[in-house]
Amino acid sequence: MTPEHVKERFEEIRKLSGDPEMAHSREDDLYLDILTAIRDGTIIDAVRCCEEALKTHDLSFPRWCA
C-alpha cells in the first residue's frame, strides 16, 4: 500500500458520501487495510498513508453502527 493508493481510496469514499452506509463501510475497510499492511510490512510510508486516510474524517456523512 502506498500513499497514492490511499488517496485513490479516499476519493472513492468521497464520491460515496451520498450513501453514508457504503462510505462508512469503505472508510472502515481502508483503516483495516492500512493496519494489515503495517502488520505485514507491505506499506510504503506508513505515516503518510495514515495522514491521507485520516482525511476521511473531514468528509461530511453520518457514521453510525447498528
Give residue limits of the domains in the chain.
3-57
Classify residue 2 as exposed, middle or buried by CB count within 10 Å of its CB (0-12, 13-18, 19+): middle
Percent pLDDT > 90 in the chain is 94
Q: Which residue has the cell 485513490?
A: 8
Q: Are 28 and 4 in contact (CB under 8 A)?
A: no
Other C-beta atoms closer than 10 Å to the C-beta of 27 total: 22
Instruction: Give the model's confidence band at 64: pLDDT under 50 very low, under 70 low, under 90 confident, else very high.
Output: confident
φ/ψ (deg, to 5) at 63: -120, 120
pLDDT tens digits along 20-51: 999 999 999 999 999 999 999 999 999 999 99
